[in-house]
Structure 1
Amino acid sequence: MVTTLVRNGTPRLGLRAVLSDAPSVGEVRHCGDWREVEDALGAGRVDVLLLHEDDYVRDRGVLAGVRRRRPKLLLLLSSDDVREEILAGPPVPDGFLVEDELTASAVEDALQRTLAGEVPMPTSVTRGLLDRLRESGQHRPREVSLTARENEVLLLLAEGMSNKQIARRLGISSHGVKRIVASLLLKLGAPNRTAAVVTAIQNGLITC
């Protein structure tokens, strides 16, 4: 069950088109305001709330209440330049989509990864965060000690790889990847994988 709140006309129409053909979507409800989102949450389980970044920033207080209902939050960005208000959180989105990359395959992949607890973060978003960090010439002091294997997994997460892809790349089991990711979340103090990647970038743990 996917519920959307995207009020901007052009991306809203594009999103409707791609969601109507997404194999992983059983039901979709397009909302025009937060009251309709609350109605959708009250009517039954909402697995993914797909929200435009404008509503995320403007209605942070409302969103905090929605997140207590535990839907996954997938954020649609106007560009690959993520606003500081979004990175500041809470709540931290579970994944990102970019308007210019709003294709059927991108949405389907993002939904499947979000529901699997993975991190759908387009490469353009990761690159934009890294560029911003380099341009500022500043980052938070590195206070996190990661093992060599954790560093490997973290870099692959930042590339947007799934657990299975990471397992194949490193020659380990998917269960092993899950265990390493859990350790990364704990060490980085991150509630989800997206937050872990963002925190790692901000702390200079990902630099290329």
Structure 2
Amino acid sequence: MRVSQALCHPPFPGEQLVVTTLVRNGFLQLGLRAALSTAPLVRDVRHCGDWGEVEETLRNNQVDVLFLHEKDYSPDRGVLVDARRHRPKILLLLTTTEVPEEILAGPSVPDGFLVENELTATAVEDALQGIVAGEVPMPTSVTRALLRRVREPEQQRRRRVGNLTGRENEVLPLLAEGLSNKQIARRLGISSHGVKRIVASLLLKLGAPNRTAAVVTAIQNGLIT
């Protein structure tokens, strides 16, 4: 499914979420089913077997959060929207703590991450709470992997961060000025939600655990002066 324009997601009403999943691995699917069945934030869940079912579900239903496995996620699919023409939040289940380069280089970076061998009811609940709070949920192990990227040799870091989008290149110097997401949104004439997604994408591409580290890495790589 392709949509040319990303649509902002409104606040979650009552923090009760409608969730759809696409996780084909039987063992992981069982674990995710069990975790979601006990999550207080979840009102309804639909488990899909393939992308056709996902797209049909989105066409006909409200979907607040979409759980996808890394192997089933394709960044070039464009922006997925549900029956309300709203974009669901995407939580990506990673095989390892490393976020694949093709995901970072794609047009749409997921809204949060989980790791296969850390898939517990607590981890799922924490990720959902982070999504509701407007954060980018990320396990500590993934954060550590990003920190390792910061320590990579300069030439290797340059290869990783060279593929920034035009909008990311606009946001990066504003981060260096210390502007908040709301200030950046006003400066560029876009939504705060849009800025939040761009900043999350920058943190991942730069291998930075926070905004300050992102700016330092960008300066080290000559992306800003």
Provide the TM-score with structure 1 as the length reference. 0.71
Alpha-carbon separation, structure 1, partners of 2:134 and 2:50: 27
Q: Residue 65 of structure 2 aligns with which residue? A: 48
Q: For 1:57-91, what per-residue CA distance to the aligned partner results, in whole angstroms no more than 9, with x for missing partners?
A: 4xx44x31525741111111011111111111211
Task: Report if the CA contact (8 A) 2:91-2:113 is conserved.
Answer: yes
Task: Report if the CA contact (8 A) 2:203-2:214 is conserved.
Answer: no
Structure 2 counterpart of 1:144, from 173, 196, 215: 173
Q: Residue 197 of structure 2 aligns with which residue? A: 191
Unaligned runs of 5+ in 1: 151-178
Task: Report if the CA contact (8 A) 1:80-1:98 is conserved.
Answer: yes
Task: Report if the CA contact (8 A) 1:75-1:96 is conserved.
Answer: yes
Alpha-carbon separation, structure 2, partners of 1:193 and 1:119: 10
**SS at structure 2 position matched to 1:26:** strand
Structure 2 counterpart of 1:88, from 105, 119, 128: 105
Provide the TM-score with structure 2 as the length reference. 0.66
- The 5 A counterparts of 1:59-98 are 60-61=75-76, 63-67=77-81, 69-98=86-115
**How many matched pairs?**
175
Task: Report if the CA contact (8 A) 1:94-1:192 is conserved.
Answer: no
Computed over aligned residues only, the root mean square deviation of the Cα atoms, in angstroms, reads 3.0
Alpha-carbon separation, structure 1, partners of 2:32 and 2:149: 28
**SS at structure 2 position matched to 1:182:** helix
Identical positions, percent: 53
Q: Residue 182 of structure 2 aligns with which residue? A: 182
Letter in 2 for 1:205: V
Displacement of 1:192:
4.7
Alpha-carbon separation, structure 2, partners of 1:90 and 1:147: 23
